[in-house]
Structure 1
Amino acid sequence: MPAAWRSPFLRKKAINAWCFGLTRRPGLRHNIRMSALYWHPTTNRQLDLSSRALPHALLVFGNKGAGVTAAARLVAEKTAGTATVSLVEPEGAAGAITIDTVRQLYSMTRSDLGGRHLVIMDEADRMTQEAQNSLLKLLEEPSGRTSFILTSHRPGWLMLPIVSRCQQLLIRPLTRQQARSLLTEAGINEADLRRRILLLGDGLAAELSKLSYDAAYRRDQFERAALAKSLLAGSRLDRLIAARKIAGDRQSAVQTLEIAARLLRPGLAAGQETAIDRLESLLDACERLQKNALIRLQMLKVAF
């Protein structure tokens, strides 16, 4: 695994030691390797093809919790060879990828020094507009020695010219049988617990792994799910109480709304108009919150 990483923007990380943010506790499987994840059969074939012939730019996208970052790093692990691997992530109070970061990438990848470069840009949709314009120049003028792997849960936030210059790889949800097998392998055998994890995990490989292996994370998500259910189907008072509980923390609010969106899936599959309307409202609130809208106002809109 290549050891040359840049700092502070391009942080040094060992790709093959990456885990899904699981809390490190004695006896807990916190170092689940990407290759151990379950992948949808179609996704697995596409990952194999991308690993055999990595394009100049690859966009790996899917729902949050599907494992887009794991997939990107798996491709990188298989194709890096002797390349210098650089990881770019959102940072700072705004959680953004700035133009300074992309300019540093430009200087690094255009340098006559060194050999091949492989750049993983995690959550590429968090680039500022200026950063996206700068990245577009890199993609429009391939050096022949640099490959980019971009990940995104919101590819619609990326400029269309960037998306059009990337080969696209969708990380699909697992099949029902794969999801059940993952839980069985994790030792989750109690019927009610399996049902709750399968409902909350919604076929998302990384999310199902975290729910299965990290009990503390699972308890936290179950609590969020209870608040999400109150927002969706509680009485007027229940919705108000839930909205107030969530309104104190932006990240908590976004995560709870994302869970609420997952819980709406059965209604969407049945074609219920009310479920579609609620989903649009939830997604709109999530997007506004991620762009620093007032938390309390967005939660009240969702609740009422």
Structure 2
Amino acid sequence: MTTTAGFGAIVGQEAPIRLLKTFLRSGTQPHALLFTGDDGVGKKMTAKAFAMACNCRTLSADLPQRPPLTAIDACGECGPCRKIAADHHPDIIRIAPLSTVIRIDQIRELLQTLSLKPNEAQRRVVIFCDAQTMNPEAGNALLKVLEEPPDRTLLVLTTREASDLLPTVVSRCRQIRFSPLSVSAVARLLTTTAAIDPQTAEKAAALCGGSYTRALTLIDRRWQQRHEWIITAMCRFAALPSTDIRAWLAFSEKLAAQKERVEELLEIITMWLRDLLVVGVDANQVLNQDRREILSTVAQGVSRTRLIEQIDAVDEAKAALRANSKARLTLDAMVIKMAGIGE
């Protein structure tokens, strides 16, 4: 995955790219594809690259000769390729959340567009960015297109998990799973495309969980400050008696006050707890490599069972917040479970 277009520019997603190229060579593209995987692993870029390949004049002329998969890619030079690369093609449609939701009005407008023939594309492509943000009404409205796909039209939905969408939507799509990027791949992208120094790139790559987008966030000094705050707090809690709930509730209050970043903060907590589990087994697999010594010390004073219970508490809080539960109540419940109160 890089900032340019075309299959050749996408890093670390060999299996999805191979499957898409097979569709192109055989001429058997499904009418709807569902790209699943974490944010920042190349799903949207791949959707754009596939749209280019579907409409590339040069590739279209070559496909009857059934070229090897390695030779199948958009040329990047013909008119359709240039328009799609510049986001100016009238038949490549992007549907993205307005604020935080894809609304039914957007789907209704799309249905009107799809009732007409494509303007100029060999294959019109509609890319749904973050399809999990469709509200139920929008998802149900989309079923009409999935059940009766318009001629020469391909739908590509991108989301983290198939379970985030209506089952009726998922069942009508061909799912393609995207893997997290390797640490080395992310570090290489950071140094080559974002001009990040190697040491910073390696640290961000180790912490990002295989997401290039997240790695870019981790480089920000403000994120590093939040990361330091969370780790300091978690180390302090490890030394507190389990009955001291006041500090935990104060921590919950501070988390809730950062509503726009709370999921990010919970992810930092999860990474720290995961490292405490891992450090005694294989220290090389620790994400916070610069904290290996303190991780080893803290891990000696906490049981694996307690760590797993704490990770479960954080995961439950994440799910509740995504379901729009009240942040302070959810986080209070989380820290009470993490502290082991009432057990």
Provide the TM-score with structure 2 as the length reference: 0.66
**Correspondence for 1:109 among 99, 114, 122:** 114
Aligned to 2:145: 138
Task: Tell me the CA shift for residue 84 of structure 1.
Answer: 0.3
Task: Tell me the CA shift for residue 158 of structure 1.
Answer: 0.8
SS at match of 1:96: coil
Find the aligned partners of 1:107 and 1:39 in 2 and give their Cα distance.
Answer: 37
Identical-pair percentage: 27
Contact residue 184 and residue 205 of structure 2 kept, 8 A:
no
Query: Given residue 140 of structure 1, which amino acid in structure 2 is its aligned partner?
Result: E
Task: Tell me the CA shift for residue 184 of structure 1.
Answer: 4.6
Aligned to 1:123: 130
Aligned to 2:189: 182
SS at match of 2:93: strand
Task: Tell me the CA shift for residue 140 of structure 1.
Answer: 0.9
SS at match of 1:277: helix
Aligned to 2:15: 42
Find the aligned partners of 1:44 and 1:156 in 2 and give their Cα distance.
Answer: 23
Task: Tell me the CA shift for residue 151 of structure 1.
Answer: 0.7
Q: Deviations over 1:11-67 (max 9, x none)?
A: xxxxxxxxx9xxxxxxxxxx9335545324434434544666642111111123333
Residue range with higher mean Cα deviation, 144-153 or 61-70 = 61-70
Task: Tell me the CA shift for residue 282 of structure 1.
Answer: 2.3
Query: Given residue 189 of structure 1, which amino acid in structure 2 is its aligned partner?
Result: P
Aligned to 1:58: 33
The higher radius of gyration belongs to 2
**Correspondence for 2:266 among 254, 257, 260:** 257
Asked if residue 287 in structure 1 is aligned to residue 292 in structure 2, the reply is: no
Find the aligned partners of 1:159 and 1:240 in 2 and give their Cα distance.
Answer: 36
Find the aligned partners of 1:247 and 1:230 in 2 and give their Cα distance.
Answer: 18
Q: Gapped runs of 5+ residues in structure 2?
A: 57-79, 81-89, 238-244, 282-303, 337-343
Task: Tell me the CA shift for residue 240 of structure 1.
Answer: 4.1
Q: Alpha carbons of 1:231 and 1:300: their partners in 2 closer, same or farther (altered >3 Å)?
A: farther
Query: Given residue 34 of structure 2, which amino acid in structure 1 is its aligned partner?
Result: L
Q: Deviations over 1:142-186 (max 9, x none)?
A: 122211110111321211121121111212112343234334534
Q: Alpha carbons of 1:55 and 1:117: their partners in 2 closer, same or farther (altered >3 Å)?
A: same
Query: Given residue 39 of structure 1, which amino acid in structure 2 is its aligned partner?
Result: G
Aligned to 1:224: 226
Task: Tell me the CA shift for residue 291 of structure 1.
Answer: 3.1
Asked if residue 153 in structure 1 is aligned to residue 160 in structure 2, the reply is: yes
Task: Tell me the CA shift for residue 231 of structure 1.
Answer: 6.0
Query: Given residue 257 of structure 2, which amino acid in structure 1 is its aligned partner?
Result: G
Find the aligned partners of 1:242 and 1:50 in 2 and give their Cα distance.
Answer: 51
Asked if residue 76 in structure 1 is aligned to residue 51 in structure 2, the reply is: yes
Residue range with higher mean Cα deviation, 74-83 or 278-287 = 74-83
Contact residue 120 and residue 150 of structure 1 kept, 8 A:
yes
Query: Given residue 59 of structure 1, which amino acid in structure 2 is its aligned partner?
Result: L
Contact residue 40 and residue 175 of structure 1 kept, 8 A:
no
Contact residue 91 and residue 118 of structure 2 kept, 8 A:
no
Aligned to 1:208: 215
Asked if residue 91 in structure 1 is aligned to residue 98 in structure 2, the reply is: yes
Find the aligned partners of 1:275 and 1:34 in 2 and give their Cα distance.
Answer: 43
Please, what is the CA RMSD of the aligned residues?
3.2
Q: Alpha carbons of 1:85 and 1:113: their partners in 2 closer, same or farther (altered >3 Å)?
A: closer
SS at match of 1:292: coil
Query: Given residue 38 of structure 1, which amino acid in structure 2 is its aligned partner?
Result: V
Find the aligned partners of 1:264 and 1:71 in 2 and give their Cα distance.
Answer: 33
Q: Gapped runs of 5+ residues in structure 1?
A: 1-19, 21-30
Task: Tell me the CA shift for residue 194 of structure 1.
Answer: 4.6
SS at match of 1:279: helix
Provide the TM-score with structure 1 as the length reference: 0.73
Find the aligned partners of 2:250 and 2:202 in 1 and give their Cα distance.
Answer: 27
SS at match of 1:199: helix
Find the aligned partners of 1:256 and 1:140 in 2 and give their Cα distance.
Answer: 40
Q: Alpha carbons of 1:58 and 1:232: their partners in 2 closer, same or farther (altered >3 Å)?
A: farther
Query: Given residue 96 of structure 1, which amino acid in structure 2 is its aligned partner?
Result: V
Contact residue 200 and residue 263 of structure 1 kept, 8 A:
no
Residue range with higher mean Cα deviation, 100-109 or 39-48 = 39-48
Describe how 1:160-171 pairs up with structure 2 within 5 A. 160-171=167-178
